[in-house]
Amino acid sequence: MNYIKPLIALTLTCSVAITNAQTPLNVVSEPTPVVPPKDVTINDLGWMDKNKMEQEITELSELTQTKLGTPIRKDLSDLDTMQRLVDKNLVEQDDYETQQAMGLVLGNLILADFPNTFEWKIYEDEIGRSRALCVKKTSDCLFPITMLSRRMEVGTKPDVKKIHNDAIMRMEKHLPKLPYDGGIMYKFPR
């Protein structure tokens, strides 16, 4: 009879543990409500936006020419140039203007690779106004201006090529394809 009490206690403990494992606290019975998105407007760039973008690229090109001996060329070599800026710590952690100009170059490279797919737009939502690289006639957008600056402002050294390639892959469904399932049809040779 002495062995029955421990056996009963063990059985009760196991049944309590099993019961507790399936309590309503551990099971989601109803989906969480989805908050509707705030109003978003997407508009064309104004002439001031275009001028600002040209000026930012000119200033970045002057920096790369001075510090690295290489201007911004508007081809894939710009990825290496920007990586050298990052690796050599030539852009300060709080130099948001230069960091965002680097993001602008990143966006321009994506646009140059897929000129029939993307266009620069002004994207406005509850957070504010941003320049975005959007798929034409959709609200699918990339925000390359901040892709590097968000990482650099916290002290990390971003992999510029990886960020560039990841951004392209996020929009893969919109990109032109090579025939016979040959992958993405880039304009720049790879």
Domain residue extents for the chain: 41-172
Residue 3: Cβ within 10 Å count: 7
180/2 Cα distance (integer angstroms): 76
What H or E segment, with its residue span, contains residue 141? strand 141-142
Answer yes or no: is pLDDT of 147 > 70.
Answer: yes
In angstroms and rounded to an integer, the radius of gyration of the C-alpha atoms of the chain is 26
Beta-carbon contacts of residue 11 (< 8 Å; ≥ 6 apart):
none
CATH architecture of 41-172: Up-down Bundle (1.20)
Answer yes or no: is pLDDT of 157 > 60.
Answer: yes
For the stretch 8-36, pLDDT in tens is 444 444 444 444 444 344 344 444 454 44
Answer yes or no: is pLDDT of 4 > 90.
Answer: no
183/32 Cα distance (integer angstroms): 38
Map residue 9 onto helix, strand or coil: helix
- Which residue type occupies 146? T
